């Protein structure tokens, strides 16, 4: 299976990335994580993206806060799909990172998930890899079913408690 390449702008983004790596672990998807910044270590971020396809990656996840240019910088240097996670890390509650990540110019797309959306970033990466991987698609189907069952269990509890 192709790996997921994960990069974060700072180790202060780690709690968000942990949500992604936990989900990938659950699904049995291999990944590689790095701390590379679009601003502080631009060469390393660029090299990771430029070499990603040759190094066995199938999709990239990039997480950053504040003036969050990392996902865009990765996307500029690969045609692998890039998923951006805007991180809440400033006085602007993540809105700065959201806009910096999502507002890409035509030609260089970044699939942006919600602010701090680490789990969804991993699930989207899994869904991209599952296009060519039936076993992984089956795992994703099973997860949807068990997630739905958990919600219906909560419905039954709330209904039993509150409905007349
Ligand atoms: C961004 O600035 C990082 O992605 C992080 O979210 C934010 C703050 O970084 P640190 O000052 O905590 O290293 O580049």
User: Which atom of ligand 1 lies nearest, measured to the CA of 9?
Assistant: 4
User: Average model confidence (pLDDT) for the chain?
Assistant: 98
User: What residues flank ligand 1, with Cβ below 6 Å?
Assistant: 9-10, 12-13, 37, 64-66, 87, 89
What sign results for the dihedral spanned by CA atoms 64, 69, 75, 81?
positive
- Tokens in use for 119? 């789990």
Buried-exposed string 48-70: b where 16+ CB fall within 10 A, e elsewhere: bbeebeeeebbbbbbbbbbebbb
pLDDT value, residue 90 = 86
* Residue indicated by tokens 């180790």: 11
Alpha helix (H) residue ranges in 28-163: 42-50, 70-75, 95-102, 118-130, 134-162
Looking at domain 3-132, its CATH class is alpha beta
pLDDT value, residue 87 = 98
User: What pLDDT digit, counting tens, does each position of 145-163 carry?
Assistant: 999 999 999 999 999 999 9
Residue nearest to atom 10 of ligand 1 (CA): 10
| Dist. CA 76 → ligand 1 center (Å) | 20
User: What pLDDT digit, counting tens, does each position of 30-61 carry?
Assistant: 999 999 999 999 999 999 999 999 999 999 99
What sign results for the dihedral spanned by CA atoms 109, 114, 117, 121?
negative
């Amino acid at each position: 299976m192709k790996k997921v390449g994960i990069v974060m702008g700072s180790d202060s983004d780690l709690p968000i990335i942990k949500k992604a790596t936990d989900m990938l672990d659950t699904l049995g998807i291999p990944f590689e994580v790095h701390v590379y910044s679009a601003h502080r270590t631009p060469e390393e971020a660029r090299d990771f993206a430029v070499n990603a396809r040759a190094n066995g990656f199938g999709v990239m996840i990039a997480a950053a806060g504040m003036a969050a240019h990392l996902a865009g910088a990765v996307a500029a240097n690969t045609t692998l799909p890039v998923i951006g996670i805007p991180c809440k890390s400033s006085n602007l509650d993540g809105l700065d990172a959201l806009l910096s990540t999502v507002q890409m110019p035509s030609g260089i797309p970044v699939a942006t998930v919600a602010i701090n959306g680490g789990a969804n970033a991993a699930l989207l990466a899994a869904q991209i890899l599952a296009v060519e991987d039936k076993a992984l698609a089956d795992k994703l189907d099973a997860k949807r079913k068990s997630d739905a069952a958990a919600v219906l269990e909560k419905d039954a509890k709330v209904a039993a408690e509150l409905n007349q």
